Each structure stands twice: as structure tokens, then as C-alpha cells.
Homo-oligomer: A and B are copies of this chain.
Amino acid sequence: MNHLLFGVAYYDEYMPYDRLDEDIRMMKKAGINTVRIAESTWSTCEPQPGVFDFSHVERVLDAMEKAGIRVIIGTPTYAIPTWMAKLHPEVMAVTNEGQNRYGHRQLMDITSPAYRFYAERVIRKLMNVSAHRKCVIGFQLDNETKHYGTAGPNVQLRFVKYLREKFHDDLDAMNREFGLDYWSNRLNSWEDFVDVRGTINGSLGAEFEKFQRTLVDEFLMWQADIVNEYRREDQFITHNFDLDWKDHSFGVQPDVDHFHAAKALTTAGIDIYHPTQDLLTGKEIALGGAIARSLKNGANYLVLETEAQGYVTWVPYKGQLRLQAYSHLSCGSNSVMYWHWHSIHNSYETYWKGLLSHDFAENETYKEACVIGEELARFGDHLVNLKKKNDVAMLVSNEALTALKWFPLDSLLNKMDMGYNDIMRRIFDAVFDMNLECDFLWPDSENFDDYKVILVPALYAVSDEVLHRLTRFVENGGHIVVTFKTGFANENNKVSTEVQPRILRECLGICYHEFTLPRDIVALKGDIIPEGEHKAEAFMELVIPEGAEVLAHYDHYNWNSYAAITRNHFGKGTATYLATLTDEETLKAVLRTVMNGAGIDLSEETAGVTIHRGVNDYGRTVWYYLNYSPEEKKVIYHGRRAVDLVWEGSAEPETDQKIEPETELIAAPWGVRILEEEQA
């Protein structure tokens, strides 16, 4: 890709009146150079089974081509037409709650052959009318695909076959590995397989969810295979992965294994929705960006959806829309695409507002998009294809996430709202706040050695092999930061009989036999602990040092002999352990030690603004200074002589704006500075 995509999702189908020419005029004015169309419009494209009408698609393609606006075609398969639900009620997924009623999107069984038959036909028809078009630069498969909890008899039958294969038809092996003897859940014959939706066995239940995730891999690969029959070499295949949702994009997606599912794509894509106004921090943008960036070995990715106005609470303050756009680019995205162009006048997401309000008038948000568009047109070629080389990576796992849902920190009590992503985010956010950029790793990633430091939050359910690789990583000079719960169970959620932390015991130089909850009464003490009160916030392993240095211990009459935070030298590296969840300040103190030990530069930790860096197509380093605050910030520039790409806040815009090293830069409230270093 040699250009940034500044775009919107566009639905001619939803328009209350013919707006196409006027919309294109307004897009051009705003610098919008890409639209995504067609996804979700199945009932318009195929009004009756086998009757096709792509007039909306074709007229938009015609108009966009003429206007020089690029088009991404989305396959329309994530929302089925009424006629299909009526004709083939069996396409509606059967979930834990019974069979879905038609209405909402994404309620069908993605394995249903009836659904697949119609989906394949409409995709092929759509490819026929669109793939050859010059303006079409790529394809998006479906939309935020997940397994939607599909668990009907057909899915469960496949699951039994999957289990037979996994356990080589050895029932005893499965009973043993899953501990099915407990409460007489043992299966003594494959014919006795009962509805898995009722299971209370965490191994079996988590395995079923893992199996459900493989359905998504298979589904996307199936769609990719179809699209591949039609697409040109220069057309990409992408998909808009979405993250776990806590009123906004929050963490690792529970229902898709992004690392596996991405194999169907030529280009990773992601949807990132985040709070704005006083809650805009850049963290969700960095998180989603880092995940997407890491799916394809650091290759640039596409932000296929992000909000313009979005939720009613997200209407951006002045400057924020622009800050957000550059935040995405600073993470390595090659696009900023809004969902969506115009607010929709009916139905469900009426108040998930687009760039335009319902009145299609030029509002403040649109006006700010015009500024962005103008700037990207001017110097976007200096920002596209930004490449990063990070020293720090976070190792995440769908299996661990699912396991901690089955076995939460307080287990059967299940009253703490503290899941895997909460723990992961605590660490990710601390790293972000230290002004360090971070990539992601998955258990199957093969590039552990690309990093100096690997962060390992709550890697609860994990194979021996991964733990051995982590051990070797340290042995060879790497540094790991591991939290409580890591390694406790194997990949089948069988808790180990080894003394914990399993396999990592020697590497971490510690062990523990018991754990409890701090219940807000246990403080932390130790040289590493910052001034003031710092508590054990959640979970609390009673760690006995076996060679490791104790950085902090519990401050409680009954627990004070146990360690809370330790560091161990092992081989050429170090292994740091957090036996409890700490506040971010404590966490940063620990991470600082680790980063220093790993030789990672922390000089920008206190810069006061967020700094992102990468190398552009010209081989030059681009520095982003992102000010996520309503105050003006001053920051010393530590790079080489550079060009100020935006001239924002410049006194003399007519000069060519060379910035000398150690210059004090001013970043406006919710503002951004972008500097491009001169070539060495």
C-alpha cells in the first residue's frame, strides 16, 4: 500500500433519499479517499432467494470510481435476510439459551449448510459485479465474525468427532485429562455424550469454547477461498476483528483466536471503539493497534472501523478526532475508517452516530475530519507503512482467558469483576503510561526471541511447551514478568500436581502451595514499593522464595513471611514474579527495574505526552507526540534534526520548520506533533 486510507463505511441502501452525489462532494471536501460498502446489505442484494439486485453496489462503484474514491467490498453475510430465517428456520443458531429468534445480526449458525449455500452464492454474485472494478482495492470477509455461541446438535456432533480425534479415540485419556470422574460426569461410551451446554466441567466446557473458536477460523478461511477465486493480486483480503467489549474495545476477544483466524487474511484489520472526551487516553487505540500489528509479524494493518461521533458519550472534544486519527497511524495503521459516514435514521444503531448527524449538515466533527483529510493529503506519504521495532511484548492467550472465566480469581464465589483482560490491561496500561511501545505474542508465536522483555499476565491454562520456551528465553538472556496464576493448569485446564509455579519454579526461583484473597487488608512492603499505601488488590499467592530476591512482601501479621513480588536471575536473563495484583504505580516501579535490567531506554517515561515512533517508507524515523489531555504540554525533543510535518503551533509556518535536537516542543490540548527525522 502506498497511500493511507481515510475512509468511511457507506450505505447507499440505508439512505432516506438519493444523496450519492452530495455525499461524494462532501467526502471529497473532507479528504475521504476510501469507502467500505456492501457488508450487511444482503436483503437488498438478494431480495428473494436467487433473485439478485446489485444496483446499489454498482451505482456506488460507478460514482466512486468516477470520483477517485477507493472501495472496499464487504461480503454481506453477517446479517441474513428475513426470507432465509423464514424458509430455513434451522439456520438460526441454537445456543445455551435455546434457538435464537431472528432480528439481531450475527445470530445464525455459521456452520449451517443452508446458510453456507446462500452465503456462498451471494458472495460469488457480489464478486462478479465488483472484483474486476478498478476502484475496488480489497475485500473484507464478513464482519466482526464470532461463533455466536452456536451449540446445536450438529455443532456438538462435530465436537464429539473433534474430541475423538484429539484423544485418538481414547475415552479413558479424555476422562483422565478432563477429570470427568468428578461428580460422575465420566463418559464410558462415546454414545453417552450428553448435551455439553449443561456441563460444569471446566476442562470440557473450555474445550468446547476452543472448538467453537476453530469454527471461526474455518469460516473465514472458507470465505477467503471463495474471494481468492475472484480477486486481483493487488486486492487485499482483510477482516475487521473486534476486541473484547466493556462498553468499548477492551481486550483479547474471547470468541475468536485472532492469531489463528488471521491466517485467512492478506492484511490484518481491526475495529477500535474507545471512550473520548475526558476519558480519551490512547490506550485502546494502542492496544487494538498492537494486536492487529502483531497478527502478521509487524505488518501494517487497517483500522476498518472506529468512531466519528459514535456513542452519545463519545462526541469528540475539539481536536480529539484529529488526535485519534494520528494515534491510529502512530501505531502502524495504514487507515482510519469511520463507522460510518452518516447516522442512520431507523432501527437499532440510530444513536451510534456517524461523521454526519442525521441532518447531513456540516457539524463540528465533520469539520475536523476536513482538517485531517487535508493534512493526510499533504504529508500522508510520510506516515504510511510505519514500521516498528519494539523491545517489549505481551504474551496473551485465548485459552487462559476462557479458563479464568470458568475459574475466576475468587472461583465459586464469582463476585469479583476481575477477568483475564482486566489483569492484562493493568499491565498493558502501565507499559503505555511508561511511554513504551509493546507488541503482542500468542502461545503459537514463533518470535519470542525478537524481544528483550516478555510480559506474561495470568497465563493460567498453558502447555508445558510454552513454559519451557519461556524458560529458555530467560536462559538465553531474555527478561520475563510473570503474574500470579501463570502455569497453574495445562492447556486442558487440568491443574498441575507439580509444586507451583509449574515448570517456571526454577526460572522464577520461587514456589507456593497456598493462596488466598487479600480482601483489602493486606498492604505491600519492600524496597520496590513506592511511598504511600500500596495494597495487594486481587489474589495473593503465598510465595516462598527459593533463590529469588524478594522485592516486596505482604504486610499482614499472618502472611508477612511470604513474598509478593520477586526477581530471579536465571541463565543470562531475569524472571520477575507478581504474586498479587498491584496498583499501577507499584507495577511501574517493578517494570522500571525490569526494563533497566533489559537495557531498555526509559528516558521518555516522564515526557508528559505519549510518544510513538516508527520508520516510514523514506527510511526516516517519525516521532509522534500525542497529548491526551486538555492542558498544553511541553516536551523536549530527543531525536535528530527533524521536519515538523504539521507545523502546528508554529510561529513561522513559512520557514521549512526544521526542529533541532533538544528543542522544547509544545503540544496543544488534545493535540499532536509529528516530526520526521532527517536521514542519518
Contact = CB atoms under 8 A, between A and B. Distances in A.
Interface of A: 11, 13-14, 16-17, 40-44, 47-48, 76, 79-83, 85-86, 100-105, 176, 178-189, 191-195, 197-203, 247, 277-278, 309, 311-315, 317-318, 343-353, 357-361, 363-365, 407, 409-413, 493-500, 513-517, 519, 521, 542, 557-558, 630
A182 B14 contact: yes
Contacts of A309: 514
A656 to B, nearest CB: 34
Contacts of A359: 496-500, 513
Contacts of A558: 277, 317-318
A194 to B, nearest CB: 4
Given A14-B181, A101-B195, A312-B410, A188 B495 contact: no
A48 B409 CA distance: 37
B182 A499 contact: no
Contacts of A410: 311-313
Contact of A497 (B187, B345, B513): B345
Contacts of A185: 43, 79, 82, 103, 347
Contacts of A352: 411-412
A193 to B, nearest CB: 7
Nearest to A517: B313
Contacts of A40: 182-184
Output the residue of A13, A79, A80, A200 with the most chain B CB within 10 A: A200
B494 A41 contact: no
A17 to B, nearest CB: 7
A229 to B, nearest CB: 24
A519 B276 CA distance: 12
A102 B313 contact: no
B82 A345 contact: no
Contacts of A311: 410-413
B194 A102 contact: yes
Given A14-B182, A17-B497, A200-B348, A363 B513 contact: yes
Contacts of A277: 516, 519, 558
Contacts of A513: 357, 359, 361, 363-364
17 contacts: A81-B192, A82-B194, A86-B191, A86-B194, A101-B195, A101-B198, A104-B200, A182-B344, A203-B346, A277-B519, A311-B412, A313-B410, A346-B494, A350-B495, A351-B411, A357-B513, A359-B499
B81 A184 contact: yes
Nearest to A409: B312
Contact of A517 (B183, B312, B344, B542): B312
A407 B350 contact: yes
Nearest to A415: B247
Contacts of A357: 513-514
A590 B386 CA distance: 56
Report the 4 A-B pairs with minimum CB-CB distance, sorted nearest first: A179-B346, A101-B198, A103-B198, A351-B411
A204 B98 CA distance: 24
Given A312-B515, A350-B411, A179 B363 contact: no
Contacts of A183: 40, 79, 104-105, 347-348
A675 to B, nearest CB: 27
A237 B485 CA distance: 42
A347 B497 contact: no
A433 B413 CA distance: 28
